[in-house]
Amino acid sequence: MKSGATPAPSHRRSWFVAALGILAVAVVASAPLVGPYAIDLGAIFEPEADSVAARIFWQIRVPRVLVAFLAGCGLAAGGMTFQAMFRNPLATPFTLGVASGASLGAALTVRLGLDFAFAGFAGTSVGAFAGALLSIGLVYGIARLRRGFSTTTLLLAGVALSFFFSSLILFVQYTSDLYSSFRIVRWLMGGLADTLGFQAVARVLPWVVAGLALLAFLPRELNVLTTGEDLAASRGVDVIRTKRLAFVATSLMVGGIVAVCGPIGFVGMMVPHMCRLLVGPDHRLLMPATIFAGGAFLTACDTAARLMLLGAELPVGVITAFLGGPFFLWLLLWRSPERSLG
CATH number of the domain where residue 29 is located: 1.10.3470.10
How high is the pLDDT of residue 1? 40
Does the pTM surpass 0.75? The reply is yes
How high is the pLDDT of residue 54? 81
Does any domain span residue 38? yes
- Judged by DSSP in three states, 122 sits in strand
Does any domain span residue 2? no
User: Residue 99's closest CA among 339, 311, 321, 291?
Assistant: 321
217: how many CB neighbours lie within 10 A of its CB?
11
Does any domain span residue 4? no
Report yes or no: 105 and 130 within 8 Å, Cβ to Cβ: yes
How high is the pLDDT of residue 225? 92
User: Residue 283's closest CA among 294, 293, 275?
Assistant: 275
Does any domain span residue 1? no
Fill in the DSSP letter of residue 118.
Answer: E
Mean pLDDT by 10 residues, the chain (342 residues): 46 89 96 84 64 83 96 97 91 93 95 79 89 95 81 91 96 95 93 86 95 95 91 89 94 95 94 92 95 97 89 88 87 64 62
Number of structural domains (the chain) is 1
- Domain of 309? 10-339
Alpha-carbon distance of 109 to 170, in angstroms, equals: 14
Q: Which helix (H) or strand (E) holds 334?
A: helix 316-334
How high is the pLDDT of residue 3? 41
Does any domain span residue 29? yes
How high is the pLDDT of residue 7? 45
How high is the pLDDT of residue 6? 39
Does any domain span residue 47? yes
User: Residue 320's closest CA among 61, 71, 51, 64?
Assistant: 71
Does any domain span residue 178? yes
Does any domain span residue 281? yes
